[in-house]
Structure 1
Amino acid sequence: MRKGLFVGLTAASVGVVYGYDLSTIAGVLLFVGKDLAIASDSQKGLLTTMVVIGQIGGALGAGVLANAIGRKRSMLLILLGYTAFALLGAFSMSVPMLLTARALIGVAIGVSVVVAPVYVAESAPAAVRGSMLTAYQVATLSGVILGYVTAYFLAGSQSWRLMLGLAAVPALLLLPLLLRMPESARWYLLKGRTDDARRSLLRIEPEDNVDAELAEISRAIAEETQDRSGGGLSELVRQPYLRATLFVVALGFLQQITGINAIIYFSPGLFTAMGFHGNFALLALPAMVQVAGLAAALSVSLFLIDRMGRRPILMSGIALMTIADIVLVAVFANGAAHAGGLALVFGFGGVLLFIIGFNFGFGSLVWVYAGESFPSRLRSIGSSVMLTANLTGNALIAAFFLPMLQILGGAGVYTVFGLLAVVALVVVYRFAPETKGRQLEEIRRYWENGGKWPTPLDTPDTSDAP
């Protein structure tokens, strides 16, 4: 178990590089105009959107890449690419060069957000798989906080190049750890490499469990591939996996379109609209908000997800987001930028509650469901499809949040986000299964059975439990 935990946590730590990039752009946007001609909201939106466009490309190719060369090698390529493209952005001498660097770093991030959760899902023991998958969100949040704090300390010198270049540091630190990790045993078995799969399992499972685990995975893969084309996108859009595909696509899209990155990307503009001023208010306050979000994600990862289950946590988080949207609508409707005092407190509190709700629910659970909902041969491709939907929502937020804020005002924007949160709550209530404690192969049968647990598996087998 301890070996499995170490493998899962190391893979999840790849989320740090994603989180750093999410938040550090907020500081870059404040200062990049002094060297490069980027000043208008549309230009700033383009700089942010280029990363998302790259992420969509990376997400679309990630499943094919992970199935072709393996999960571990894919993650190593991610870290090398992230290092190179971060430095390219730091040394950019023109707007086109910077936009190219941002698009390329987006590709690396897009691949990472697919492959890392897949690797964790396939490598972590079932009893703690939920915790390990939410650890990816914890790592992402840690990166977000790191990005804000870095931007804050570099704000005095307006060193936007250093903000971008320092992104290479967490990637380089993770490389030696990932080199020590085993490849996914399920991937080895998909390639017919049984001996390699056994050696991989021996590195994360007690020896007494390895043969039984190997036999179960082999049986499930043989059953999956019998009389089927095997691993293609076409399988995702027809029965029996169409329902699972629609569910994770909807979940991924709703996670973004409900507004999380409107806060992370554009927090300085949002806090300015509320009436906050100065580098501390525009960069340090968002970092403090994300610390609360990190605490929420840690509570889910360490204490709740493998005890309470997935559904109640996800629904509770979305409900908190909805309440936060109502608070922010009230703040903006009463003229937050001019009210001061109590309005600023409520405005900050609304953002804080939204971040806590998101990281308690959507932020932690989307990756869990993406990692659990598909059979082995479809898992990376299914995660790619989910992330593509997720990033489509992300791109819409990156491109249109600032214009929406100008046209609709804060009250109008957060009314839209609140309505979308209600839609998300309905979707989760209607379609999300409870997968706590179930093996990946068992969860596969739920989707194959039309979204119902087959009768013999309705209650997990606990005959060997102590």
Structure 2
Amino acid sequence: MGFIGELRGSSRLGLLVAASAATVGVIYGYDQSNIAGALLFMTDEFGLSTRQQELVTTAVVVGQIVGALGGGALANRVGRKPAMIGVAATFGLFSLLSALSVSVPMLLVSRVLLGLTIGVSIVVAPVFVAESSPARVRGGLLVLYQVATVVGIIAGYLVAWALAGTGSWRWMLGLAAVPAALVTLMIVRLPDTARWYAMRGRLAEARAVLERLDPGADADAALADITAESGGTRRKGVWREMLRKPYLRATLFVVGLGFFIQITGINAIVYYSPRIFEAMGFSGDAALLGLPALVQVAGLVAVVGSLVTVDRMGRRPVLLGGIGIMVLANVLLIAVFATGGGTVLGFVGLVLFTVGFTFGFGSLVWVYAGEAFPARLRSLGASTMLTADLVANAVVAAVFLTLLNGLGGVGTFVVFGVLALLAMVFVHRYAPETRGRELEEIRLYWENDGRWPAAPNHTERETAR
């Protein structure tokens, strides 16, 4: 049975959790792209230099790093659900504050605060989904978050295009409050995850959630597995456990993966697409804002492909295939800038780059963030991975325009191409194949020094290496 068929068999609660988390993805994606359009107009109003444009873009990423660092501990302390509600509500508030900014310092502060909420959300959302999904569809439901993120990116470009005639950058930023209000209302009605309830010793509530998520399963047996895996109902994850065996290997893997996901350059494409298209010779609002949206539509098709294949093909083939497409895209973009190969080929190169990313890295980041660690360490592990991701994102956001102006298109995409090759080597060497594995089983991979132990009753025989 395919992903859609399995999804139809999922409980109403599981679908509601996935839909709510996906809506958070829309918010995240919209914020990534709306700044690209807004920059075209706020640059004139505030007289921004190239460096100031980079600062406005990077400010939100700085906030995201802080939010991601604390997001895991927050989710463990107050719960996955309250953390998600707080994220959605404050995101709406800070979006409005950004829209009302009357000076560059006010804009920078509001962007940092906005990033803080986003940083928490990208840690908590995949954990929330992973802990509320059956193993047979968990990968697809986690990829659904990336589907929603790309939808949000497209919406951000289209809203910017629609408002370009009036230069209303304040509306571009402020409209993000609308989906934030909707997701707040959705999440309020949901329970927290069974694994969080079990971690806090609230076993009756944990059992009730398990019964609602999968009415046909043995809730008592599942609860016993959860409590055994967590090492006791009140045992809490601590950072030092992630820095020693057996989970040091997992920590190094998620840090490396998180860093490579962003340092290979995808958010340079998202944040600065209008500037890249300008460098290729495009002009006019339709080209500078419409074409980036079209690029992301291709990315949306790719991420839907990832959604329907990740639980069938496995995590590693999807991830490696996506990175391979990114390498080819970099080669094409280098050729375009080196030879003046034309705007059409340049557009194709950006499409391939985005397709490769959304099919592989963009989708699997949420899968590994939600799967890599046992329950007591899961939110902290996601926090670690996504902090590394955001640090690399900040580097790219802070230097890309300077890099493009200094090295030109050829030098810039040579750098990204080399980084994509290094990422492929890293993933091939270290990424585990977790398809079909229960969350409580994945810890065995790390405890067995990066190999799956013999499991005669398991349907999945492949190893990560």
TM above 0.5, yes or no, is yes
1:188-203 matches, within 5 Å, as 188-203=197-212
1:64 deviates by 0.9
Taking a change above 3 Å as real, the CA distance of residues 262 and 361 of structure 1, as seen in their structure-2 partners, is: same
With structure 1 as the length reference, what TM-score do the two structures score? 0.94
Question: Which runs of no fewer than 5 residues in structure 1 stay unpaired?
Answer: 337-342
| 1:33 Cα deviation after fit | 2.8
- The answer as to 2:209 corresponding to 1:210 is no
Match for 2:104 among 95, 98, 108?
95
Matches of 1:76 and 1:375, distance apart in 2: 24
Counterpart position of 2:7 = none
Residue 194 of structure 2: aligned partner: 185
Taking a change above 3 Å as real, the CA distance of residues 160 and 461 of structure 1, as seen in their structure-2 partners, is closer
Which string of whole-angstrom CA distances, capped at 9 and with x for unpartnered residues, describes residues 119-154 of structure 1? 101111111000011011011101000100000000
Cα distance between partner residues in 2 of 1:94 and 1:67? 37
Give structure 1 regions of 4+ aligned residues with deviation exceeding 6 angstroms.
none
| Distance (whole Å) between structure 2 residues aligned to residue 335 and residue 207 of structure 1 | 61
Tell me the equivalent position of 2:26. 16
CA 269–395 in structure 1, closer or farther in 2 if over 3 Å, else same: same
Relative to structure 1, the CA distance from residue 199 to residue 212 in structure 2 (aligned partners, 3 Å threshold; closer, same or farther) is same
Deviation at 1:395, TM superposition (A): 0.5
The change in CA–CA distance for 1:51 and 1:457 in structure 2 (over 3 A counts) is farther
CA distance in 2, matches of 1:259, 1:389: 14
Cα offset, 1:36, TM superposition: 2.2
8 Å CA contact 2:199, 2:236 repeated in 1: no
User: By how many angstroms is 1:236 displaced?
Assistant: 1.1
Question: In the alignment, which residue of structure 1 is the partner of 2:4?
Answer: none
2:353 is matched with 354
TM-score of the two chains, using structure 2 as the length reference: 0.95
User: Is the 2:46–2:104 Cα contact (8 Å) retained in structure 1?
Assistant: yes
1:146-161 matches, cutoff 5 A? 146-161=155-170
Match of 1:323 among 317, 321, 328: 328
Name the % identity: 56
CA deviations on 1:242-285 (whole Å, 9 max, x unpaired) are 11111111111000000100100000100000111100111010
Aligned to 1:278: 284
Q: Do the aligned partners of 2:323 and 2:357 also contact (CA within 8 Å) in 1?
A: yes
Flag the 1:286–1:403 CA change in 2: closer, same or farther, 3 A. Answer: same
Rate the CA distance shift 1:149–1:215 in 2: closer, same or farther, 3 A: same
**1:219 Cα offset (Å):** 1.9
Instruction: Give the secondary structure class of the aligned counterpart of 1:306.
Output: coil
1:207 offset after TM fit, Å? 4.8
Q: What is the alpha-carbon distance in structure 2 between the residues aligned to residue 460 and residue 370 of structure 1?
A: 23
1:12–1:117 Cα contact (<8 Å) kept: no
C-alpha deviation, 1:326, in angstroms:
0.1
Query: 1:9–1:132: 8 Å Cα contact kept in structure 2?
Result: no
What is the CA–CA distance in structure 1 between the aligned matches of 2:78 and 2:225, rounded to whole Å? 23
Match of 1:69 in 2: 78
Question: Is the 2:199–2:232 Cα contact (8 Å) retained in structure 1?
Answer: no
What is the alpha-carbon distance in structure 2 between the residues aligned to residue 13 and residue 239 of structure 1?
37
Q: How far apart in 2 are the matches of 1:374 and 1:2?
A: 25
Correspondence 1:441 to 2:440 = yes
Quote the Cα distance in structure 2 between the aligned partners of 1:290 and 1:356: 8
CA pair 182-424 structure 1, distance change in 2 beyond 3 A: same
Say which of 254, 271, 274 aligns to 1:265.
271
**Does the CA-based 8 Å contact 2:199-2:233 persist in structure 1?**
no
The equivalent of 1:340 in structure 2 is: none
Output aligned runs, 1:20-35, within 5 Å.
20-35=30-45
Say yes or no: does 1:79 pair with 2:94: no
Could you tell me how far apart the structure 2 residues matched to 1:6 and 1:167 are?
Answer: 21
SS at match of 1:13: helix
Q: 1:98 and 1:305, CA in 2 relative to 1: closer, same or farther beyond 3 A?
A: same
User: Given residue 104 of structure 1, which amino acid in structure 2 is its aligned partner?
Assistant: L
The answer to whether the 8 Å contact 1:182/1:203 transfers is: no
Separation of aligned partners in 1, 2:65 and 2:306:
28
- Supply the distance in 2 between the matched residues of 1:454 and 1:322 (Cα, whole angstroms): 34
Indicate yes or no: 2:113 matched with 1:104. Answer: yes
Contact 1:262/1:397 (8 A) holds in 2: yes
How far the C-alpha of 1:203 sits from its partner, in A, is 2.3
Q: Distance in 1 between matches of 2:225 and 2:252?
A: 27
Partner of 2:296 in structure 1? 290
| Mapping of residues 218-233 of structure 1, within 5 Å | 218-222=227-231, 230-233=236-239
Tell me which residue corresponds to 2:309: 304
Q: Is the 8 A contact 1:134 1:300 kept in 2?
A: yes
Q: Partner of 2:458: helix, strand, or coil?
A: coil
**1:34-60 deviation line (CA, Å, top 9, x unaligned):** 43232x110000001110100000001
Give the deviation of 1:9 after TM superposition. Answer: 2.7
User: Which digits, 9 at most, give the CA deviation of each residue in 1:333-368, with x for residues without a partner?
Assistant: 1135xxxxxx11110000000100000000001111
Per the TM alignment, residue 457 of structure 1 is displaced from its structure 2 partner at its CA by 6.2
8 Å contact from structure 2 (residues 436, 460) kept in 1: no
The match for 1:377 is 376
Equivalent-residue separation in structure 2 for 1:60 and 1:180 (angstroms)? 27
How far did residue 300 of structure 1 move? 1.2
2:201, 2:233 within 8 Å by CA — same for their partners in 1? no
Output the CA distance in 2 between the equivalents of 1:15 and 1:370: 14
Letter in 2 for 1:265: Y
**One-letter code aligned to 2:17:** V
Identify the residue that residue 345 of structure 1 maps to in structure 2. Answer: 344
* Contact 1:325–1:414, Cα closer than 8 Å, also in 2: yes
Aligned-CA RMSD value: 1.5
Q: 1:242 to 1:289 in 2, by over 3 A?
A: same
Structure 1 distance, partners of 2:284, 2:30, is 22
Q: 1:108 and 1:368 mapped to 2: Cα distance?
A: 21
2:319 alignment partner in structure 1: 314
Cα distance in 2 between the residues matched to 1:224 and 1:271: 54
Name the counterpart of 1:243: 249
**Cα separation, partners in 2 of 1:93 and 1:457, compared to 1, 3 Å:** farther
Matched residue count: 451
| Partners of 1:461 and 1:199 in 2: CA distance | 30
SS for the counterpart of 2:435 is: coil
Please give the alpha-carbon distance, in whole angstroms, between the structure 2 residues aligned to 1:270 and 1:236. Answer: 40
425 and 461 in structure 1: CA distance in 2 versus 1, 3 angstrom threshold: closer
